[in-house]
Amino acid sequence: MFFALIGILIGVVIGFLLPFTYNTAYSLYISVAILACLDSVFGGVRATLENKFDLVIFISGFFGNSIIAAFLAYLGDRLGVPLYYAAIFTFGNRLFENFGKIRRSLITSKKNKNQTEELDR
């Protein structure tokens, strides 16, 4: 958990020190890729809470999902079909599902901790 916080802090500092802009024509691709990355991050947090985290699976999912999502958006743009909706639906659904499981896990562990403290008294 400590390394994750250090990584977030480093990312925020780099983001502020090295401002990066991109062409607005790529906004659709980048936004879908970011959604896929967020899905992977929430999945990683969930896996950590369940003691099932594997760094190789996380890294491959993080980059693989974002590349597939951006490619779907690009392909759909070239074909004139909004394929990015599939990525938005899939990753958005999984993001909320992972968030719900994280929330339940944290609430359950908090309740269990409180019950254990009450029994110890």
Q: Which pTM was predicted?
A: 0.76
> What digits encode the pLDDT tens for the residues 9-68?
898 888 888 877 878 888 888 888 889 988 998 999 899 889 999 999 999 999 998 888
Residue ranges covered by each domain of the chain: 26-120
Q: What is residue 51's DSSP assignment?
A: T
Phi, psi (deg, nearest 5) at residue 93:
-60, -45
CA distance 117 to 62: 38
> What digits encode the pLDDT tens for the residues 85-120?
888 898 899 999 999 999 998 898 888 877 777 666
Check residue 52 and give its pLDDT.
92
How far, CA to CA in Å, does 78 sit from each of 68, 112, 115? 15, 52, 57
CA distance 121 to 116: 9
